[in-house]
Amino acid sequence: MENSLQQLKAEAEEALCRISDKAGLEAFRVKYLGRKGLLSSTMKQLGSVAKEDRPRLGQLANTIKKGVEDLFADSKEKLESGGGAVAADMDLSLAGRTIGFGKCHPITQVMEEICAVFEGMGFAVAEGPDIETDYYNFEALNIPKHHPARDMHDTFYVSDSILLRTHTSPMQARIMEDRDPPLRYIAPGKVYRCDSDITHTPMFHQVEGFLVDRKVSFADLKGVLTAFTQRMFEGDLPLRFRPSFFPFTEPSAEVDIACVICSGKGCRVCKRTGWLEILGAGLIDPEVMTMVGYDPDEFSGFAFGLGVERIAMLKYGIDDIRLYYENDLRFLEQF
């Protein structure tokens, strides 16, 4: 009994393989699976086997019948859907079908990444007007009319007292004027300077940030900016702070990271110094504090500003800043 079941299974499988048309399929069904087919009639013989063998053989017969039925169904489906022909036609090397997707501008990507790092540290985001008053862009930041530091800002003017902001730092004065410490803010946005060459565009993007509270120190500034650069450039990148000058911070610092192009060995991008300047920072100048009505002996704070274009250039190896604003799709799709 057991042997004949196994033999039947083998015959059926072989027969199925040879079938190539519907008629053959129907003949197979009648021969094997029909009410009077071979499987049914074999199963009818179950009654005549020894009682103790019956459950085991019964189960085996059912398994074999189910197996043949499934194989039959598969062959039927294959035949009905065009059989082997489809499989040959279906060239799976072809690309998947998609309507495609677009991408954010690399500046937006990097700017959001910068904001996300600081937001993660509890900084709030504030944006201000692109067209500022001379007061907030300069005076409130300790840059009076005839200060030589105005040379560092090639300013576009709309009128004597209205200009295109040269940095997003005016938000520092605006927020401090409006609110009391503790404060933790970043101000992302577009800024403008009349300068245009391979490393300067007349419009670019900045993220300015500041923090004011009691007993905020230069060491804290170093801590926050170290955390930021390590997050932004992924890893324990060597970092250096060096003295600089900004009228609205003192002590002021510029922050360099080890050149991401040559790993600090010295190359064209880092002018062979091994270092790349990525941001300016410092403790908020007591003068700026006084102007917004804070007591500089009670509160201290730090501020920093960074250029988004530059960071994106370093992260992605972009060598011409003007590419950002040509909006060539061949450029945009790379990021």
Partner 1 sequence: MKFTLSWLSKYISTDGLDSAQLAERLTMLGLEVDVVEQLYAGLDDIVTARVISVKKHPNADRLTLCEVEVGDETVPTVPIVCGAPNVRAGLVTAIARPGSVLPGGHKIKKAKVRGEVSMGMLCSWKELGISEDHAGILELDSSIESGRSLKEVLELDDTMVEIDLTPNRPDCASVLGIAREVAGFTNQKIKPPVKEVPTLDGSGVDFTVTIEEPELCPRYAARKLTNVVIKPSPWWLQRQLLAVGMRPINNIVDITNFIMLEYGQPLHAFDFSTLAGKAIVVRCPRENEKTFTTLDDTERELDPATLMICDAEKPVAVAGVMGGLDSEVTETTTQVLLEAACFNPVSIRRTARTLNLPSEASYRFERGVDPDGVSNAMERAVQLMCELAEAQITANGVDEYPGQKELLQLPLRVQRVNELLGIDLTSEQVADYLRTIEFTVSGTDVLQVIIPSFRIDIEREIDLVEEIARLVGYNEIPTTLPSITMDYPQRDPLRQLRQDVVSVFTAQGFYEVINYSFVGDKHSDMMGLAEGDSRRKVVRLLNPLSEDQAVMRTMLLPGMLENIRRNINFQQSDIRMFEIGKVFKFVAEDAQPEERYQLCAVMSGQRYPSGGSLYFAGDRADIFDMKGAAENLFQSLRLEGTSGSIQFIADSKNQQPYSDPDTFIRIMDGDQQLGILSRISRKTARAFSLKQPVFFLELDLELLPQLPRIAKSFKRLARYPSIKRDIALLVPEVVPAGDVLEALIEQKNKNVVYADIFDVYTGKKMEKGMKSVALSVTYRSEEKTLDDATVDGFHNKLVNTLMSRFKGRYREG
Rounded Cα distance between 105 and 9, Å, is 63
Interaction of residue 162 with partner 1, rule CB under 8 A: yes
Query: What residues does 279 pair with on adjacent strands?
Result: 255, 306
Which positions from 196 through 235 interact with partner 1, judged by CB under 8 A? Answer: 196, 201-203, 211, 213, 215-220, 222-224, 226-227
Site for partner 1 in 111-150 (CB under 8 A): 112, 122-127, 129-133, 146-149
| Choice between 42 and 172, CB closer to partner 1 | 172
| Options 156, 231, 267, 315; binder of partner 1; rule CB under 8 A | 156
101 binds partner 1 (CB under 8 A): yes
Contacting range for partner 1; rule: CB under 8 A; set: 4-12, 36-44, 71-79, 326-334? 326-334
| 333 part of the interface to partner 1, by CB under 8 A | yes
CB of 46 to partner 1, least distance (A): 43
DSSP state of 200: B
| 68 or 183: CB nearest partner 1 | 183
Which two structure tokens, joined as six digits, stand for 205?
């993007």
Instruction: Give the separation between CA 19 and CA 29, rounded to whole angstroms.
Output: 11
Segment contacting partner 1 by CB under 8 A, of 54-62, 73-81, 257-265, 321-329: 321-329
CA separation, residue 275 to residues 223, 241, 311 (Å): 19, 11, 13
Can you tell me which of 161, 199, 263, 290 binds partner 1, judged by CB under 8 A? 161
- 262 class by beta-carbon count within 10 Å (0-12 exposed, 13-18 middle, 19+ buried): middle
> Which residues, numbered 246-265, are part of the site for partner 1 (CB under 8 A)?
250-254
Q: Taking CB under 8 A as the criterion, which residues in 15-44 touch partner 1?
A: none
Whether residue 170 is preceded by a cis peptide bond, meaning omega within 30 degrees of 0, is: no
- Which of 114, 124, 154 lies closest to 137, judged by CA? 154
Q: Is 14 exposed, middle or buried (0-12, 13-18, 19+ CB in 10 A)?
A: exposed
Q: Which two tokens stand for residue 289?
A: 């504090």
Is the Cβ of residue 20 or residue 196 nearer to partner 1 in the bound state? 196
- CB nearer partner 1, residue 105 or residue 231: 105
